[in-house]
Structure formats: C-alpha cells, structure tokens
Amino acid sequence: MGVHYVFQIYSTVERVTFFLSLVSNFIKTSSFNIIIENWRIDYNAVRPHSSLNNLAPDEFKKKWRFLQVLTPVKVAEQELTKT
C-alpha cells in the first residue's frame, strides 16, 4: 500500500466524518427548533400568566380585543344617557 493511497483513504474518511457531523448537527438543530417552537406555543397559548389575571396570553388578547370593541359603544351609551 503506497503512501498516496493511505492519504486518499484518510481524506475520504475525513470528508465522510465531516459530512456526518453536519447531518448530525442539522438533525439536532431541527429537533431543537421543534422543541423550542412547541414550548413557545405552550407558553403563549396554553400556560396561564399571573400578570394577565391568570389567563393564557391568547385568552387575554381575545378578551382585550373584545373590550376594545365594546369600549366605544359604552362611551357612546354614557354620552347618550347624559343628555
């Protein structure tokens, strides 16, 4: 076995190892992104927050928007009842 042949094998093994490490990192990163996204959805949609009166952020947002729609109506009703 010549020295040139050994270097070719070593070079090929290095490239395969590098490629496999890239694939492994991609899989780990993809898995990590899925885990983080699931946590974000849980935190923002399901988990209640004490600062939001123990409502989940999505629930709080829906109630807040509903109140924003009702507020002008209530103000108008109050103005009408004053006269």
The pLDDT of residue 40 is 87
49 pLDDT more than 80: yes
Q: What is the pLDDT of residue 2?
A: 55
Residue 81 pLDDT more than 70? no
* 75, containing H or E segment: helix 57-82
Q: Which of 48, 67, 68 is nearest to 58 (CA)?
A: 48
| Residue 72 near residue 79 (C-beta atoms within 8 A) | no
- How far the first Cα of the chain sits from its last, in Å, is 105
State how far the Cα of 18 lies from the Cα of 56, in Å rounded to an integer: 45
Burial 9-42 (b: 16+ CB within 10 A, else e): eeeeeeeeeeeeeeeeeeeeeeeeeeeeeeeeee
Per-residue model confidence as pLDDT tens digits over 4-24: 555 566 677 788 888 888 888
pLDDT per position as a tens digit, 27-38: 777 778 888 888
* pLDDT value for 10: 62
Q: In degrees rounded to 5, what are phi and psi of residue 18? A: -65, -45
% of the chain beyond a pLDDT of 90? 0
